[in-house]
Amino acid sequence: MSDNRLKEIYFFLQQNHAWNKAIQIAEVRRILNSETHVKTRAKRLLFEAFLTQRNPKLEHVMCFSKFLLQIEPHLSSFKKFITFLELPIAAQPKEILRSLQEKSRFAGNPSGFGPKTISIFLRNLAIIQRTELKNMLWADIPLWGKMDFLVPVDRVIMQIFGKLRQANLIGRKYSGFDSINKCLKNSTPTGADMLIWDDLWFWGYITQNSRGGVRNHRWNEAKYWSIYTAKKASRTINKIKTQAQYFLSLIKSKNLTVIPRPPKRIAKHIG
């Protein structure tokens, strides 16, 4: 099969990007507002990303917390942070990921700081740099290229790829961080933004149900409500549900109906 279905999914994510963008901006703002100094804000961003791991062991949390205390003096600017990582200021996200993972592992954390969690941290830096939040952290965060990002691939996104494969909508099995990121990069339209693929997690999360160790794909309103910074108005939820139903057809069915048009005033949900 060609990559047409992935391109259709990208178009869907692009057309509906404002929903998740609003959630992400609100979440990053919440994290930054929890601290008053630049160093502690950067440290909190790293810690919150670390906690997105699935049931991290307390010993690993302790080791990572000690690592954050060690690097806090280097968190007053992006330049100092990147110097600590022994990288040039023009380092790309993939280089930062590799160095940060090694530094945290060397500090005694057996699980290290994994690719998914580091990618979440780097994604949040990009959100800060691209939005009104840029005055709340490092003023010198570089503007990375649109194709330089790595998607924080986790079980939710892996399940999406599994469903696509099950429905014969993709031609091969993609099951890990590297292979899925490579696939997504190859499926990103020319000149488009790789970061849009990060929205796969949002639409996957609110359309997956786990029971007895098995994940089913259907609208899950309870999961939407569990996202603290998501808009909770009934009108908004109904619009999200409509788009979620179409997303489900994108990953489950070869025959698609006309894509629901996103609301004309969708931008008002950002903030």
**CA nearest neighbour of 142 among 131, 130, 133:** 130
Residues 137-144: contacts with CB under 8 Å, at least 24 apart: 137/32, 137/38, 137/41, 137/42, 137/45, 138/38, 138/42, 138/77, 138/78, 138/81, 139/77, 140/77, 140/78, 140/79, 141/78, 142/78, 142/89, 142/90, 144/92, 144/93
Output the pLDDT for position 270: 37
Report the pLDDT value the prediction gives residue 122, as an integer from 0 to 100. Answer: 95
Which tokens go with 140?
């010198």
CB atoms within 10 A of CB 74: 16
Q: How far is CA 169 from CA 49, 77, 198, in A?
A: 32, 45, 20
* Per-residue pLDDT in tens (0 to 9) along the chain, 271 residues: 446 889 999 999 999 999 999 999 999 999 999 999 999 999 999 999 999 987 788 888 888 899 999 999 999 999 999 999 999 999 999 999 999 988 888 666 666 678 999 999 999 999 999 999 989 999 999 888 888 899 999 999 999 999 998 888 887 778 889 999 999 999 998 888 999 999 999 999 999 988 777 778 999 999 999 999 999 999 999 999 999 999 999 998 876 655 555 544 444 443 3
Domain extents for the chain? 4-23+150-259, 25-136
pLDDT of residue 43: 96
Number of alpha carbons in the 13 Å side-chain half-sphere of residue 254 = 8
For residue 110, the model assigns a pLDDT of: 62
Give the residues across from 209 on adjacent strands: 216
